[in-house]
């Protein structure tokens, strides 16, 4: 499969550039498309187009903006499978996943914000201060914003950023990851077809240097970033130089706590979702699975049985539920961690390990495959239990559940990380479940489930995992600035300059 050369998109038009880079298909290690690379001039032109569009878009009524964005939702849903095929080629995720999750969850968020702004979501507050004075607040859009995306959920990330941004009246220049660029032009053209005016949503392509041009540009009012903690620190530092707003959706090393009374099958299903969905390339993965000693053997056995249902294969086959990793760079990184777990951490390898999984003969073995891997008897000081691996590597950390105070100790271990993106607990004791969740230092938490992230749920990390939230009502507040107005009707300005 080879796609046409992908242009940039700004001011409602495609723009080609002389310099290109190659997008590689992770399932074959073959070129998928040549992508036009933005230079300083192109980034500036895209920002200028967005600045020109801002007065038009920001002054439309919320009902008008909502109507246009809802047309884009309908187009996304009509073209779900077509867009999902593109995402499968670009990311290596099976079509069974991209067709059910990636476009669907992006369109849901766009629908949510289009409806929210049309039903008063941008209203401020009114306070009667005195009989003859009142205070009101209004929410104003920020201006031209930059979106910078990661490669694991390309179109979903582009929509989770652009939906509240545009619904609030802002314009956006979006830079996808250089590893997964194909969705961006398609999304931009869907917005245009729906009636979004030229310049409101623009796409520049390229690597981190192009992201750097956006984060340092004085005309950008806000940067919404999804990526690694280390990159997030650089982006936030660049944005600070002229006081840009930032939202940072960064990495995690999240704890998945199985309490001794948990329902075994549900707990194992949760741990599987938290580690093997999307070949483990999910930011909220619960990669530190704390299992009570009393349940360890049965948990391991049931996990191994259920792992027989992980089916790597032809990505377009509806039965396939496990794909290769996104890129060679990432494949090499994940493989190194598996090797480190075996050779240096000396964790007990329960399943998987180095090498490729068994693939059907029809599947190209040159893809960036790794085996779903489980290490058990892990301890808190191992590198594999400390670093974000971002691959299908599940670490079981057994804990003694026969001593008083073991829950408190467990919570301390779970919180003993610099990151705080997600956390979850499995138990039949709902009181205990709530008590444990209340003590976990993480922004996204689950009880007896893992991974669901609907449009209504604000998501964002604590500690080094991020700043601000995406989605939900709170997500909209990250795209507006507040104005407070005090109105005096009594005619007399309170002053200390009156005559004595
Ligand atoms: P990276 O941090 O490597 O890259 C993210 C984006 O930033 C890419 O578009 C990248 O460009 C760009 N970039 C790189 N350097 C700079 C720079 N100096 N200035 C501006 N932009 C820059 O992350 P990955 O793409 O590897 O994504 C995986 C990470 O994302 C994981 O840590 C994961 O946990 C996290 N993530 C967090 C989510 C959340 O909601 N909290 C959701 C999804 C993922 P390019 O890649 O083209 O070089």
Q: Which residue's CA is the closest to the ligand 1 atom numbered 23?
A: 227
Ligand 1 neighbour 248 (Cβ under 6 A): no
Co-location of 202 and 310 in the same domain: no
In 3D space, the residue among 208, 210, 209, 215 whose CA is nearest the CA of residue 242 turns out to be 215
Give the CA distances from residue 166 to residues 70, 446, 468, in Å, rounded to whole numbers and listed in that order.
Answer: 12, 30, 18
Two structure tokens written together for 46: 């895209």
Q: In this prediction, what percent of the chain has a pLDDT beyond 70?
A: 98
CATH number, domain with residue 480:
3.40.605.10
Q: Which residue's CA is the closest to the ligand 1 atom numbered 43?
A: 283
Two structure tokens written together for 381: 């000081």
- Residue 166 pLDDT level (bands cut at 50, 70, 90): very high
Shortest-distance atom of ligand 1 to CA 459: 40
Last residue of a domain, one of 401, 419, 447: 447
Ligand 1 neighbour 152 (Cβ under 6 A): yes
Choosing from 97, 111, 178, 249, the catalytic residue is 249
Co-location of 284 and 198 in the same domain: no
Q: Which residue's CA is the closest to the ligand 1 atom numbered 4?
A: 227
Residue 142 Cα to ligand 1 midpoint, Å, equals 23
Mean per-residue pLDDT, 388-392? 98
Ligand 1 neighbour 321 (Cβ under 6 A): no
* Helix (H) or strand (E) segment spanning residue 154: helix 154-167
Q: What is residue 492's predicted lDDT score, i.e. its pLDDT?
A: 65
Q: What is residue 135's predicted lDDT score, i.e. its pLDDT?
A: 97
Mean per-residue pLDDT, 166-179? 98
DSSP class of residue 98 equals I
Co-location of 231 and 271 in the same domain: no
- Residue 498 pLDDT level (bands cut at 50, 70, 90): low
Place of tokens 């349940």: 295
> Reading across the β-sheet that carries 422-426, which strands appear in turn?
348-351, 373-376, 393-399, 288-292, 255-258, 422-426, 444-447
Residue 149 Cα to ligand 1 midpoint, Å, equals 6
Mean per-residue pLDDT, 180-184? 98
Co-location of 264 and 325 in the same domain: yes
Report the distance separating Cα 356 and Cα 388, nearest Å.
Answer: 21
Co-location of 180 and 217 in the same domain: yes
In 3D space, the residue among 373, 383, 378, 416 whose CA is nearest the CA of residue 396 turns out to be 378
Q: In this prediction, what percent of the chain has a pLDDT beyond 90?
A: 97
Q: What is residue 468's predicted lDDT score, i.e. its pLDDT?
A: 98
Co-location of 470 and 366 in the same domain: no
Candidate of 175, 226, 238 to mutate for ligand 1, largest count of ligand atoms within 8 Å of Cβ: 226
Ligand 1 neighbour 149 (Cβ under 6 A): yes
| Paired sense of beta strands 13-15 and 8-10, if any | antiparallel
DSSP codes, 99-147: IIIIHHHHHHHHHHHHHHHHTTTT---EEEEETTEEEEEEEEE-SEEEE
In a domain, 24, yes or no: yes
In a domain, 148, yes or no: yes
In a domain, 496, yes or no: no
Query: Among the residues of 279-382, which ranges form H helices?
Result: 296-307, 328-343
> What are phi and psi for residue 241, nearest 5 degrees?
-60, -30
Ligand 1 neighbour 333 (Cβ under 6 A): no
CATH number, domain with residue 369:
3.40.309.10
Given a contact cutoff of 8 angstroms between Cβ atoms, the answer to whether 175 and 211 are in contact is yes
Per-residue pLDDT tens for 438-485?
999 999 999 999 999 999 999 999 999 999 999 999 999 999 999 999
Shortest-distance atom of ligand 1 to CA 227: 30
Residue 231 Cα to ligand 1 midpoint, Å, equals 6
Co-location of 198 and 292 in the same domain: no
Per-residue pLDDT tens for 31-54?
999 999 999 999 999 999 999 999
Report the distance separating Cα 431 and Cα 146, nearest Å.
Answer: 43
Report the distance separating Cα 212 and Cα 1, nearest Å.
Answer: 32
Candidate of 6, 37, 90, 208 to mutate for ligand 1, largest count of ligand atoms within 8 Å of Cβ: 208
* Helix (H) or strand (E) segment spanning residue 434: helix 430-439
Ligand 1 neighbour 91 (Cβ under 6 A): no
- Residue 1 pLDDT level (bands cut at 50, 70, 90): confident
Residue 452's contacts (CB-CB under 8 Å, 6 or more residues apart) are 446
* Helix (H) or strand (E) segment spanning residue 247: strand 245-249
- Residue 250 pLDDT level (bands cut at 50, 70, 90): very high
Per-residue pLDDT tens for 320-348?
999 999 999 999 999 999 999 999 999 99
Ligand 1 neighbour 234 (Cβ under 6 A): yes
Mean per-residue pLDDT, 378-407? 97
Average pLDDT of the chain to the nearest whole number = 97
Two structure tokens written together for 257: 């706590």
Co-location of 13 and 91 in the same domain: yes
Residue 383 Cα to ligand 1 midpoint, Å, equals 21
Q: What is residue 499's predicted lDDT score, i.e. its pLDDT?
A: 64
Residue 408 bears catalytic tag: no
Shortest-distance atom of ligand 1 to CA 214: 20
Ligand 1 neighbour 220 (Cβ under 6 A): no
In a domain, 370, yes or no: yes
**CA dihedral sign, ordered 271, 88, 214, 22:** positive
pLDDT higher than threshold 90 for residue 222: yes
Co-location of 469 and 360 in the same domain: no
In a domain, 137, yes or no: yes
Mean per-residue pLDDT, 164-181? 98
pLDDT higher than threshold 70 for residue 364: yes
Across the strands, what pairs with 34?
22
Ligand 1 neighbour 283 (Cβ under 6 A): yes
Mean per-residue pLDDT, 207-234? 98
Across the strands, what pairs with 481?
140
In a domain, 495, yes or no: no
Report the distance separating Cα 487 and Cα 135, nearest Å.
Answer: 6
Provide the 3-class DSSP secondary structure of residue 168. Answer: coil
Mean per-residue pLDDT, 224-239? 98
Report the distance separating Cα 171 and Cα 200, nearest Å.
Answer: 5
Pick the more confident residue, 97 or 494.
97
Co-location of 191 and 97 in the same domain: yes
Provide the 3-class DSSP secondary structure of residue 304. Answer: helix
For the chain, first and last CA: distance in Å? Answer: 86
Two structure tokens written together for 412: 């301390």
Per-residue pLDDT tens for 113-123?
999 999 999 99
Co-location of 231 and 319 in the same domain: no
Place of tokens 């036009």: 36
Mean per-residue pLDDT, 353-379? 97
Q: Which residue's CA is the closest to the ligand 1 atom numbered 40?
A: 249
For the CA atoms of 300, 304, 309, 315, the dihedral, rounded to the nearest 10 degrees, stands at 100
Report the distance separating Cα 3 and Cα 345, nearest Å.
Answer: 43
Report the distance separating Cα 186 and Cα 312, nearest Å.
Answer: 28
Find how far residue 289's CA is from the centre of its chain.
22
* Helix (H) or strand (E) segment spanning residue 74: helix 62-78
| Tally of domains in the chain | 2
In a domain, 332, yes or no: yes
pLDDT higher than threshold 80 for residue 430: yes
Provide the 3-class DSSP secondary structure of residue 299. Answer: helix
Ligand 1 neighbour 458 (Cβ under 6 A): no
| Paired sense of beta strands 222-226 and 245-249, if any | parallel
Per-residue pLDDT tens for 267-298?
999 999 999 999 999 999 999 999 999 999 99
If phi > 0 it is left, if psi is from -120 to 50 it is alpha, else beta; for residue 491 that is: left
Ligand 1 neighbour 401 (Cβ under 6 A): no
Domain that includes residue 95, residue range: 8-251+465-485
Given a contact cutoff of 8 angstroms between Cβ atoms, the answer to whether 423 and 440 are in contact is yes
Co-location of 218 and 354 in the same domain: no
Residue 151 Cα to ligand 1 midpoint, Å, equals 7
Given a contact cutoff of 8 angstroms between Cβ atoms, the answer to whether 482 and 139 are in contact is yes
In a domain, 499, yes or no: no
For the CA atoms of 205, 210, 212, 216, the dihedral, rounded to the nearest 10 degrees, stands at -90
């Amino acid at each position: 499969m080879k796609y046409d050369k992908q242009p940039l998109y700004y001011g409602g038009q495609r723009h080609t550039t002389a310099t290109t880079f190659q997008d590689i298909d992770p399932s074959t290690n073959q070129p998928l498309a040549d992508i036009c690379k933005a230079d300083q001039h192109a980034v500036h032109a895209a920002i200028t187009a967005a600045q020109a569009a801002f007065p038009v878009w920001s002054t439309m009524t919320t009902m008008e903006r909502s109507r246009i964005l809802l047309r884009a939702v309908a187009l996304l849903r009509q073209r779900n499978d077509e867009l999902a095929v593109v995402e499968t080629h670009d990311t290596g995720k099976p079509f069974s996943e991209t067709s059910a999750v990636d476009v669907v969850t992006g369109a849901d968020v766009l629908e949510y914000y289009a409806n929210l702004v049309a039903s008063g979501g941008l209203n401020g507050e009114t306070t009667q201060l005195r009989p003859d004075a009142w205070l009101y607040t209004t929410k104003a859009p920020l201006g031209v914003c930059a979106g910078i995306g990661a490669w694991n959920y390309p179109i979903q990330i582009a929509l989770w950023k652009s939906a509240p941004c545009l619904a609030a009246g802002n314009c956006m220049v979006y830079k996808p990851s250089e590893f997964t660029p194909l969705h961006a032009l398609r999304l931009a053209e869907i917005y245009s077809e729906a009636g979004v005016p030229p310049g409101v949503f623009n796409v520049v392509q390229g690597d981190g240097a192009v992201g750097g041009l956006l984060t340092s540009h004085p005309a950008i009012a806000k940067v919404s970033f999804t990526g690694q903690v280390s990159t997030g620190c650089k982006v936030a530092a660049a944005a600070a130089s002229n006081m840009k707003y930032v939202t940072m959706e960064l990495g995690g090393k999240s704890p998945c706590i199985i309490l001794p009374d948990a329902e075994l099958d549900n707990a194992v299903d949760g741990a599987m979702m938290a580690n093997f969905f999307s070949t483990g390339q999910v930011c909220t993965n619960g990669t530190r699975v704390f299992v009570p000693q009393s349940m360890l053997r049965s948990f391991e056995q049931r996990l191994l049985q259920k792992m027989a249902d992980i089916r790597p294969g032809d990505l377009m086959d509806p039965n396939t539920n496990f794909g290769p990793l996104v890129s060679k760079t990432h494949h090499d990184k994940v493989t190194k961690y598996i090797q480190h777990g075996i050779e240096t951490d000396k964790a007990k390898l329960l399943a998987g390990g180095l090498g490729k999984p068994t693939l059907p003969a029809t599947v190209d073995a040159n893809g960036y495959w790794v085996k779903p891997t489980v290490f058990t008897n892990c301890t808190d000081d191992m590198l594999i239990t400390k670093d974000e691996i971002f691959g299908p590597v599940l670490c079981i950390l057994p804990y003694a559940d026969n001593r008083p105070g073991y829950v408190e100790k467990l919570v301390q271990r779970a919180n003993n990380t610099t990151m705080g993106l997600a956390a979850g607990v499995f138990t039949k004791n709902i009181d205990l479940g709530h008590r444990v969740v209340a003590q976990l230092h993480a922004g996204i938490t689950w009880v007896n489930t893992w991974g669901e992230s609907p449009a209504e749920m604000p998501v964002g990390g604590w500690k080094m995992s991020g700043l601000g939230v995406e989605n939900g009502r709170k997500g909209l507040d990250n795209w507006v600035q507040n104005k407070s107005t005090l109105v005096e009707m009594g005619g007399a300005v309170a002053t200390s300059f009156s005559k004595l």
